[in-house]
Amino acid sequence: MGVWKSKCLPVVVVAVLCATVTLVASTRYSVAEGRDREWTMRYWQFQNDTDEPIELYLKFRTKDCPDCDFHWVPSAPEQASAYVFRFEPGEKAHLAIEGKKIMASGGRYWAKSLTSNAQWTDHRDKMLWLVKENDQGIRSYRASEMSSWTTFLQK
């Protein structure tokens, strides 16, 4: 198994509208088999529990290495840009970039129907934390591997 390097790696961002692939991050998270470690991010997946296709807009906090600081991608919350994903009715998928799942501590998202006026905006201007605070007030959890967080879009 690989070991963390203390050097932070650069992030390459590629925006692709209306696709599942939007971000490339050079990140390696390894842990010895059977050993728990502290995690500060989760894989993010969405499930469209509506009966209509939707466009999902997303910006999230991530980091490139364990010692690196968190940063927003594709831009800070007050900026207009966001990644765009399409989900068909009933579709559930991890958000992935070039086959690599997005890892985030939290983020903001909103969605709109492609066939009606329906919109989901509860977390457009409000943070959704994927990692809750532990007993020490730190956003982390112990596990042998990174877990997933599923966000359900419901009618």
Rounded Cα–Cα distance for residues 45 and 149 (Å): 6
pLDDT of residue 67: 86
pLDDT of residue 7: 31
pLDDT of residue 144: 93
The pTM of the full predicted model, rounded to 2 decimals, is 0.75
Q: Among candidates 128, 96, 103, which has minimal Cα distance to 43?
A: 103
pLDDT (tens, 9 = 90+) of the chain, 155 residues, equals 333 332 333 333 333 333 333 333 333 344 445 578 999 999 999 999 999 999 999 999 999 888 899 999 999 999 999 999 999 999 999 998 778 899 999 999 999 999 999 999 999 999 999 999 999 999 999 999 999 999 999 98
pLDDT of residue 91: 97
Cis peptide preceding 89, ω within 30 of 0 = no
pLDDT of residue 142: 92
Cα dihedral 45, 17, 110, 92 sign: negative
pLDDT of residue 27: 36
**Strand spans (E) along the chain:** 11-13, 23-25, 37-39, 42-49, 54-62, 71-73, 83-87, 92-94, 96-97, 100-101, 103-104, 106-113, 119-120, 128-129, 141-143, 148-154
